[in-house]
Structure 1
Amino acid sequence: MRLDIRHLELVLAIAEAGSLRRAAARLHLSQPAVSAQLKRIEQHVGGELFVRLPDGVVPTLAGTLFVRDGTRIRTDLEELTRTVRRALHADAATPVRVGGVPAQQFSLLIRALGVLLPERGTTSRTVRRTDTVTGLLASGELDVAVLRRFPGTSVTLPPGIAHRVLLTEPIFVGVSLDHRLSGARRIALNDLADDVWVMPHPDDSGMNGYVADTCRRTGFEQRVGHITDEAHVAFALTAAGDAVCVLYPLGSARESLATLTLAGDPLVRDLVLAWRTDSPVAPAVDALCAHISEGYLALVEADDVYAQWWQQGGAELAVP
């Protein structure tokens, strides 16, 4: 005898039903047939899987392990079926579904998909919360996404999702044009020890805690005076001289701010590409990453502050 899916389903049905009689009804079999099949399975594995009681059955220790691993195997088989069916019946014109944080890599990814998979097209949504993005990838609502990861935090990806670090990006700071340090171009983080900061709402990325911990390690407690998720509000508060804000190195609408780089690059983030391994994106990942890198380098060269940082050794930090 050899265990197969039918034996697995029978044992799980008995465990879920709690009795041979109810399991037989669920499986559309007679109770003697279920009892005989269970006995053959137990003989094969070498011991009882259930203790027979007057009003039903309960799993033995071995039975509990069988049910635990059997449930996982059944789930894996169901996912295998769904994966194959998606591959067999997918419409070649179905757009590639893109999601993730609104970083430069997000728009570069969409542009790269337009070059490499032009027949499909794309749909997209920006999502800030990491758990939401990974949930959408797991459910198949997204095919590929750009995630952020800060030092000391981790991104847990579900089965069937692969990932690759695209870039380690420095975090700069913005100050008003009248700020005492506005002409410095490059400063130490602790030069801002007496300033008030504007920060986004804390979320599951861990960014706020990471920035606060880094300030603390530098020798001061970060004072957050303003919280907003709207970049234009953060920039306006900073331009008015009321705060210091964090700046990612590429972006628009910063004319009213002075962008300062930080000595030693104490603040960074990883930009991560994550994709479903059963999606149309999977075979094209190497080419996608190459397109994204090429487009990103062009943006670096067009930004004076970032280009200078890049040329002064920043590339060694940034490129994986």
Structure 2
Amino acid sequence: MRLDIRHLDVVLAIAEAGSVRRAAARLHLTQPAVTAQLKRIEKHVGGELFVRLRDGVVLTLAGTVFVREATRIRTDLEELPHVARRALHADAATPVRVGGVPAQHFNLLIRALGVLLPERATTSRTVRRTDTVTALLASGELDVAVLRRFPGTPVTLPPGVAHRVLLTEPIFVGVSLDHHLSGAGRIALNDLADDVWVMPHPDDSGMNDHVADACRRAGFEQRIAHVTDEAHVAFELTAAGDAVCVLYPLGKARESLATLTLAGDPLVRDLVLAWRTDSPVAPAVDALCAHMAEGYLTLVEADDVYAQWWQRGGAELAVPQSISEEFRAGPRNQSRGAVGS
């Protein structure tokens, strides 16, 4: 058996409808035919995609991943004619096409392009999977992108694509305000050995492996109780006292959590700028990086926890040697309240 778009449509229809019967009606097929098709698909992938209930079905973890990727594939197929038309009608006025992970540098990049290349429009799309971003760069569908790179998981870029590390960003942790460590400010990772975690679904970035490996080096096995890609769900579960969550140092909607920094900074990620060397971005890379660094430092200054981390010497970890000494010096405002150490 070989999966094709019809098989994806069957699984997506069942997931959207919540039952095989309703999916069969939408697909204009009989219920037995859809059931048989689903069984063949599950046999092919090696496990169940749905949990059967009396009144319908719900996705398994494998089913959630299947549906996410099937949706992406179907969207890409629907986009294929438009991609071809854009290529046929491309000219000098083609916008700069930006992609990558939804990190702060993504927004800073778009703003910098508006300042440095005002004659060109900008289009953008956030893409979490690294292999998707690199494929879009290789095909010419993206001119420039912000990637994340975690220790132990290298990023292979296609020919004709250059890169530069923008920043090594620390990863903090969030706990509920009632957690016994909520007021500690700075802790050792093994202080969380008895806690359970909420984590996103594993992807090709290697983030989940990085966190698990760091916990193992700290002397304990990470125990994951909740899996969600929705930040607000992770924050709500953590605020309720049900888990510990990972936090990137800049972000909103965390008022209900206590943010803790980690001694020794065992959790980090690189933010990497990658661009096609034949794109209009290439000649402006130095100015782009400088503009983004200035914008990032402004964000650091506005965040109490991150500013204190930076002032304690975090900039020595975070900032590549190629960045200016002014950026490396970090926030200039020394009046913020101290964070526990």
TM more than 0.5: yes
Query: 2:313 matched to which residue of 1?
Result: 313
- The aligned counterpart of 2:282 is 282
Residue 292 (structure 1) aligned with residue 292 (structure 2) = yes
Q: How far apart are the structure 2 equivalents of 1:282 and 1:91?
A: 18
Provide the residue aligned with 1:120 in structure 2: 120
In structure 1, what is the equivalent of residue 176 of structure 2? 176
Distance, in Å, in 1 between the alignment partners of 2:183 and 2:91 is: 56
Given that 1:250 and 1:303 are in contact with CA atoms closer than 8 Å, whether structure 2 keeps it comes out as yes
What SS does the aligned partner of 1:266 have? coil
CA contact (8 A) 1:167 1:270 kept: yes
Per the alignment, residue 36 of structure 1 pairs with: none
When the two structures are superposed, what TM-score results if normalisation uses the length of structure 2?
0.67
What's 1:49 paired with?
Answer: none
Superposition map of 1:153-302 within 5 A? 153-302=153-302
1:34 matched residue in structure 2: none
1:254 counterpart SS class: coil
RMSD over equivalenced CA pairs, Å: 1.1
> What is the CA deviation profile of residues 246-277 of structure 1, one whole-angstrom value per residue up to 9, with x for unaligned ones?
00000000000000000010110000000000
Work out whether residues 92 and 120 of structure 1, in 8 Å CA contact, stay in contact via their aligned partners in 2.
no
In 2, the alpha carbon distance for the partners of 1:230 and 1:119 equals 36
Give the C-alpha shift of residue 297 in structure 1: 0.2
Paired position in structure 2 for 1:142: 142
Q: Alignment length, in residue pairs?
A: 233
Aligned to 1:33: none
4+ aligned runs moved over 2 Å, structure 1: 89-93
If you compute each CA radius of gyration, which structure gives the higher value, 1 or 2? 1
Alpha-carbon distance in structure 1 between the residues aligned to 2:157 and 2:256: 39
Distance 1:157 1:302 in 2: 34
CA positional deviation for 1:119: 1.1
Aligned to 2:102: 102
Deviations 1:36-59 (A, max 9, x none): xxxxxxxxxxxxxxxxxxxxxxxx
- Structure 1 residue ranges without an equivalent (≥5): 1-85
Residues 110 and 122, structure 1, Cα contact 8 Å, conserved in 2: yes
Structure 1 letter corresponding to 2:225: G
Q: Distance in 2 between matches of 1:236 and 1:113?
A: 35
Give the Cα–Cα distance (whole angstroms) in 1 for the partners of residues 118 and 93 of structure 2: 10
**Contact persistence 1:198–1:227 (CA under 8 A):** yes
Q: Aligned partners of 1:187, 1:121: CA distance in 2, in Å?
A: 45
**What fraction of aligned residue pairs are identical, expressed as a percent?**
91
- C-alpha distance in structure 1 between counterparts of 2:316 and 2:178, whole Å: 33
Query: Which whole-Å deviations, capped at 9, do the CAs of 1:117-171 have from their partners, x for residues lacking one?
Result: 1111110000000000000000011000000001111000000000000000000
The one-letter amino acid of 2:254's match is R
**Equivalent in the alignment of 1:21:** none
1:171–1:268 CA contact under 8 A, matched in 2:
yes
Deviations 1:199-251 (A, max 9, x none): 00000011101110110011000000000000000000000000000000000
The whole-number CA distance in structure 1 between the counterparts of 2:160 and 2:103 is 24
Pairwise CA distance, 1:93: 2.2
